[in-house]
Amino acid sequence: MSGEEEENAAELKIGDEFLKAKCLMNCEVALILDHKYEQLQQTSDDPTSQISQVFEKSLQYVKRFSRYKNPDAVRQVREILTRYQLTEFELCVLGNLCPETVEEAIAMVPSIKTRGRAQDDEAIEKMLNDLSLIKKFE
Amino acid sequence: MFFHIVLERNMQLHPRYFGRNLRENLVSKLMKDVEGTCSGRHGFVVAVTGIENIGKGLIRDGTGFVTFPVKYQCVVFRPFKGEILEAVVTMVNKMGFFAEAGPVQIFVSNHLIPDDMEFQSGDMPNYTTSDGSVKIQKDSEVRLKIIGTRVDATEIFCIGTIKDDFLGVINDPATV
C-alpha cells in the first residue's frame, strides 16, 4: 500500500487493499446492520450491552443518509451502476450522494472523467436518469 | 466510505473454552475483541459479518493457551482524503464546526466555510449567509469533502471543507 501522503480518493488512490475490496453504499450498510441488530436482540436479553458505540453511531448515520430504503431498490441501484464500468468506490459515492446533474456527478467523482475512460456526458446523464427513476418508483 | 473486507486475527483462547462449543466461543470472543475498534490502516470495525476460515490452533509453550488464526469478513468504515460524504453537524463555534459521519468526527475550520457565511453566536450558534437563506447549526446535514486525516491508536480524526462546488448544507433542521 502506498504511503498516507499519497492517498486521494478523487484520483482513486485509496490503497490496493481497499480498491479491490467490496464497497458498501449507506443503504446496504443499513440493511446489514439492521439485520445484525435484530439477531442480537433475539439471542441476548440485553442487546444494548453488546453493541459498541461505533456500531450504534454507524447505524444511526446510515439510516439517516440512506437514499433507498427498500432492499429491492438497493439491489437495482447496484445493478444499474455496475453497467457503467465504474470502480466499486465510484459506484458507492454515486449511490450515496445521488447527484442530479452531470456537472455535480463529475464534481463528486472526478475520477470518472480522468483515466482516459470513454465516459462521456451522455452516458453519465443516462446513468443519473436511471438512478432517479428507481428513486421515483420506490 | 463503508467497505466489506476480510481481515485476519490471531485469537488466543483459554483451554477452558475447548470442547463442543469451541467455534462459537471463538467467534463471540472475536466479535467482542474487534467490533468497535479502530486502526489507521483499516478504519473502524463496525460489525463482523462472517467467518471465512479458522486455521489450525497452535498450543503456546508454557501457558496452555491456543492461538487460532481466524479469517473473518467485516464491515469497516474508513474515511479517505478527497472523499465526499454527508455528515451531521454536532457542534458550532467561532473556530468552525464539528460534524459526524458514522463513527468519525470531522472538523471544518471557518477558513474552509464559504466567505459569505458569518458566525452568529447565541444559544444556537450558527453560520449564516448575509441574506439568511442558508444556515449551518447543530443537527444540520452537510455535504463535505475530507481534505486531511489524522490517525492515532484508537481514533481517526478528519478535517473537511465545504468551500467547493456542490458542497454545503443539504437540509436545514429548522425548515423540515
Inter-residue contact B156 to B44 (CB < 8 Å): yes
Other beta carbons within 10 Å of B161: 18
Percent of chain B with pLDDT strictly greater than 70: 97
Can you give the residue ranges of every domain in chain A?
Answer: 15-64, 71-137
Rounded to a whole number of angstroms, the distance from the CA of A54 to the nearest CA of chain B is: 5
Task: Please write the tens of the pLDDT for every residue from B148-158.
Answer: 999 887 889 99
Give Cβ neighbours of residue B4 (< 8 Å, ≥ 6 apart): A21, A22, A23, A24, B49, B73, B74, B75
Q: In what order do the strands lie in the sheet with B135-136?
A: B117-120, B126-129, B135-136
Closest CA to B156 of B168, B166, B143, B146: B146
Chain B residues at the A interface, defined by Cβ less than 8 Å, are 1-5, 35-38, 40-41, 44-47, 49, 75, 77-78, 80-86, 88, 100-103, 141, 143, 146, 149, 151, 164-166
What was the pLDDT predicted at A50? 75
Cα B171 off chain centre by: 22
Cβ–Cβ below 8 Å for B80 and A92: no
CB contacts of A32 in chain B (<8 Å) are 47, 49, 75
- Please write the tens of the pLDDT for every residue from A58-115: 999 999 999 888 899 999 999 999 988 888 999 999 999 999 999 999 999 988 887 6
| B5–A18 CB contact, under 8 Å | yes
What class has domain A71-137?
mainly alpha
User: What is the CATH superfamily name and number for domain B2-77?
Assistant: RNA polymerase Rpb7-like, N-terminal domain (3.30.1490.120)
Q: A137: distance to nearest CA of chain B, Å?
A: 22
| Cα separation, B83 vs B157, whole angstroms | 14
**How far away is chain B from the Cα of A127, in angstroms, using its nearest Cα?**
19
Domain limits, chain B: 2-77, 84-171
Q: Which residue of A has its CA nearest to B151?
A: A4
Q: How many residues does chain A have?
A: 138
Decide if A77 touches B, using CB distance below 8 A. no
Would you give the end-to-end CA distance of chain A in angstroms? 40
> In the CATH scheme, what architecture does the domain B84-171 have?
Beta Barrel (2.40)
pLDDT at B30 > cutoff 70 = yes
d(CA B155, CA B150) in angstroms, rounded, equals 8
Are A40 and A52 within 8 A, CB to CB?
A: no
pLDDT at residue number A114: 74
B125 near B139, Cβ under 8 Å?
Answer: no
pLDDT digits (tens, 9 = 90+) for B63-108: 999 999 999 999 999 999 999 999 999 999 999 999 999 999 999 9
Angle CA B161–A128–B3, to nearest 5: 55
Nearest-CB residue to A107 (from B46, B75, B166): B166
* Angle of the A71-82 helix axis to the A26-43 helix axis, nearest 10: 140
